[in-house]
Amino acid sequence: MTNNIMGRREFIQTTAKVIAATTLASSIGPPRALGAPAPVILITGTSSGFGFRMALTFARAGYKTYASMRNIAAENQESAQSLREAARHEGLFLEVIELDVTATEQAKGVVDEIMRREGRIDILINNAGAFVFTPIEIVPRDLWDFQMRTNVYGPMELVGLVMPHMRAQRVGLIIQVSSRVGSFVIPGISLYATSKFALEAASEAAHYEATHQGIDFAIIQPGAFNTEVNRNARKIFAAITMPLILKERPAGESHYRNFLQTLDGNFSGQPPRDPQEVANLALRIAETPRSERVLRYPVGDAWEIDPLRNRNQQIANFQRQAMQDAGFSHLYRP
Ligand SMILES: NC(=O)c1ccc[n+]([C@@H]2O[C@H](COP(=O)([O-])OP(=O)(O)OC[C@H]3O[C@@H](n4cnc5c(N)ncnc54)[C@H](OP(=O)(O)O)[C@@H]3O)[C@@H](O)[C@H]2O)c1
pLDDT in tens, 184-229: 998 888 999 999 999 999 999 999 999 899 999 999 999 999 999 8
Q: Are 3 and 11 in contact (CB under 8 A)?
A: yes
| pLDDT reading at 27 higher than 50 | no
Question: Can you tell me the distance from the alpha carbon of 329 to that of 334, in angstroms, rounded to the nearest whole number?
Answer: 11
Report the share of the chain in percent with pLDDT over 70. 85
Residue 254 pLDDT grade (very low, low, confident, very high; cuts 50, 70, 90): confident
User: If you measure from the C-alpha of residue 228 to the centroid of ligand 1, how many angstroms do you get, rounded to a whole number?
Assistant: 7
User: Which atom number of ligand 1 is nearest to the Cα of residue 51?
Assistant: 16
Provide the whole-model pTM.
0.91
Distances, alpha carbon 211 to alpha carbons 207, 238, 279, 323, in Å: 6, 42, 24, 14
- First and final C-alpha spacing in the chain: 36
Residue 101 CB–ligand 1 contact under 6 Å = yes
User: If you measure from the C-alpha of residue 161 to the centroid of ligand 1, how many angstroms do you get, rounded to a whole number?
Assistant: 21
Residue 47 CB–ligand 1 contact under 6 Å = yes
Residue 14 CB–ligand 1 contact under 6 Å = no
User: If you measure from the C-alpha of residue 35 to the centroid of ligand 1, how many angstroms do you get, rounded to a whole number?
Assistant: 35
Residue 96 CB–ligand 1 contact under 6 Å = no
- Cβ neighbours for 330, distance < 8 A, ≥ 6 positions apart: none
CA dihedral 98, 100, 106, 110 (to 10 degrees): 50
The mean pLDDT of 61-87, rounded to a whole number, is 98
Burial of 195 (0-12, 13-18, 19+ CB in 10 A): buried
The mean pLDDT of 21-32, rounded to a whole number, is 44
Q: What is the pLDDT of residue 5?
A: 41
Per-range mean pLDDT, top range of 12-21, 127-136, 163-172, 269-278? 163-172
User: If you measure from the C-alpha of residue 112 to the centroid of ligand 1, how many angstroms do you get, rounded to a whole number?
Assistant: 24
Find the angle CA(253)-CA(144)-CA(273) to the nearest 5 degrees.
85
Name the β-bridge partners of 68.
Answer: 97
User: Which atom number of ligand 1 is nearest to the Cα of residue 273?
Assistant: 3
Q: What is the pLDDT of residue 16?
A: 64
Q: Are 80 and 46 in contact (CB under 8 A)?
A: no
The mean pLDDT of 231-239, rounded to a whole number, is 89
Residue to probe by mutation, ligand 1, list 79, 228, 280, 299, most atoms within 8 Å of CB? 228
Whose C-alpha lies nearest to ligand 1, atom 38? 1
Residue 252 CB–ligand 1 contact under 6 Å = no
Whose C-alpha lies nearest to ligand 1, atom 43? 45
Query: Mind listing the pLDDT tens digit for each residue in 35-73?
Result: 678 999 999 999 999 999 999 999 999 999 999 999 999
Give the residue, 247 or 266, on which the prediction is more confident.
Answer: 247
> For the chain, which domains are there?
2-331 (3.40.50.720)
Q: What is the pLDDT of residue 247?
A: 86
Q: Are 129 and 199 in contact (CB under 8 A)?
A: no
Give the residue, 11 or 67, on which the prediction is more confident.
Answer: 67
